[in-house]
Chain A
């Protein structure tokens, strides 16, 4: 068996988060020698999908609030993690730990995302099952004696047209706005918003389109801006992405979701492609750079006492200096919440993800509701991923939002219990990779993925940077993530 330690690896990739794994995929047809390790005994790192057992270990590992002090204060990207379940969870319906796959990265992926085109061009998409993201809803609190409810946001022009809940006059304004958004970045339309690019989107909607409050809430909810202060430029871009993504892969949906745990699945498939290409995989193995002389390749000490040398090292940032974070509550609910997953457009696939926006101060709360078709929970249950900006009371607020959401779907008398929950906070990075020299070795560290509800293509840029670093002189951009299928379509028949 070949030895791990003798000659330098072209790259040692530390961590199997999405970006490291996509790098492994990108290198899988090169002749580069790749050693890919992860300190956890599961794939995916910050983008992993956890069984309940994994979730408990995850919570124990990231239970701490922060580490370090003063100017050197460095905070773990993941922190304040806890798990909870009722004492009689099993009696109430919680199944065995492996029946669950809780996604740490439940981002929806717009059909126009470069992530999808890269998975297609690299042929890795064949191993991922993509599901449709369905409707977007706004939570409407009780008013005038009516119960709280979820209002579905009409998001296509046909949808607006047929909507019963919008008065005719408002429809015209909304239609005008939707038409504008589709071309907002054109030379014709730019003058309308460029001067207010950083102003709040709601003000712009009032001034330019006279949208009434209810419609403005719909529009702002569609931006999925977690800080609730969507400004004009990013807000319009987000809505444009939403609208132009509709129908790309079929009727009725604008985004997809990888079955069995979101980006975790993409990371695993990318790692397998790395292995098929000859990369060596070691989980449950930490790797720590050792000091090295100026002109020599850096060594890495693996936790199994092997030392390896590397021409380059690519890892992921585990700590940040910033204070901003998002709070996430992952809850298993003992109800399928079926009414959120209806097919509303003829010929559309059954949606498996619903997005719900709940107003809250200082920032809104978003819930991504996953049906059991995602493979993340048993039939008859659903998994709700709630997110908001971290403040002192976020955990409480998310828990309340969960209760409100379930009651709005099932009625006030609903008793569908929460069977399990995982709470944690995730730092917002600056989106930039860090690079340094360790002797003659280049080291690059990926930033955490954007703390957003939809996958951001900008997170792919660092992967390409890392790929160029490893490829060096052999870097040919035309070949980046563009591969042929491994297997000829058919071996000879043997019927």
Chain B
């Protein structure tokens, strides 16, 4: 790679939404190109996944964070939202209830994330349309997203349809906002300490 790892801007994007909406499926398909049709259990062990991508000819590292099951009883912490450049809100187009619940998720995202963070609404499980499973129309999703200043698309983690689109478009939006991007460039401010760099020396120096 031409540029060193340290100089690539790191973007933090969260995926939120009700349990069972397909958040982890979206994450795993996009980042690892994996899909497990049998998996319907709550997600354990995934903190975030990283992916490199280039938008407008420039490389970025995208860290995509999963809810770690904390959406189930709506116990996502305020710290989860810290420093997020974008929030992807996922509902299941085959579940009316999951769409109705988006109002609250939008509110939570707006009140916890930075005011200029990008919001992106995703209707998941687009593959279910073929079997007549659609419960929320495209137009409804689109209108709701527009009303809340969010972008919108529908995806299927199963068929991969549109799977990259939310991530690429979120990044594309982020990079057009210099004030939002400013925090992504490593060492752009002089207050936050890089304890990570010291971590290794630090552990080895500590005999405990």
Contacts and interface: CB of A to CB of B under 8 A. Distances in A.
Contacts of A350: 190-191
A6 to B, nearest CB: 16
Interface in A262-311: 265, 268-269, 271-273, 275-278, 280-283, 285
Contacts of B135: none
A371 to B, nearest CB: 9
A305 B201 CA distance: 50
A495 interface: yes
Contact of A491 (B1, B32, B75, B80): B32
A132 B195 CA distance: 11
B52 interface: yes
Interface in B21-76: 31-32, 41-42, 44-54, 59, 68-70, 72-75
A120 B193 CA distance: 13
Contact of B69 (A126, A280, A486): A280
A259 B192 contact: yes
The 4 closest A-B pairs by CB, nearest first: A268-B79, A268-B77, A275-B68, A281-B75
Interface string A106-122: 00000000101100110
B98 interface: no
Contacts of B51: 491, 494
Interface string B106-146: 00000100000000000000000000000000000000000
Contacts of B147: none
Contact of B82 (A129, A249, A493): A129
A349 B193 contact: yes
Contacts of B199: 120, 125
A280 B192 contact: no
Contact of B52 (A98, A259, A285, A493): A493
A280 B72 contact: yes
A277 B51 CA distance: 22
19 contacts: A1-B42, A2-B42, A43-B78, A116-B202, A120-B202, A130-B192, A131-B191, A271-B77, A272-B77, A275-B68, A275-B69, A276-B47, A278-B45, A282-B73, A282-B75, A349-B192, A349-B193, A490-B52, A495-B52
Given A248-B202, A281-B73, 7 more contacts: A98-B111, A116-B195, A120-B202, A130-B192, A280-B69, A350-B191, A490-B50
A337 to B, nearest CB: 16
B94 interface: no
B34 to A, nearest CB: 11
Contacts of A415: none
A120 B196 CA distance: 8
A260 interface: yes
B203 interface: yes
Interface of B: 1, 19, 31-32, 41-42, 44-54, 59, 68-70, 72-75, 77-80, 82-83, 111, 190-193, 195-196, 198-199, 202-203, 206, 208
Contacts of A43: 77-79
Interface residues of A, number: 50
A249 B48 contact: no
A373 B190 CA distance: 10
B79 A125 contact: no
B149 to A, nearest CB: 18
Contacts of B42: 1-2
A133 to B, nearest CB: 10
Contacts of A352: 191
B8 to A, nearest CB: 10
Nearest to B52: A493
A132 B193 contact: yes
B111 A494 contact: no
Nearest to A116: B195
B193 A487 contact: no
A486 B72 contact: no
Residue among A127, A275, A490 with max Cβ neighbours from chain B (10 Å): A275
B183 to A, nearest CB: 10
Given A491-B31, A491-B51, A283 B73 contact: yes
A168 to B, nearest CB: 35
Contacts of A373: 191
B77 A494 contact: no
A453 interface: no
Contacts of A131: 191-193
Nearest to A258: B79
B45 A120 contact: no
A256 interface: yes
A268 B80 CA distance: 8
Interface in A217-258: 248-250, 256
A120 B45 CA distance: 19
B47 A487 contact: yes
A460 B174 CA distance: 41
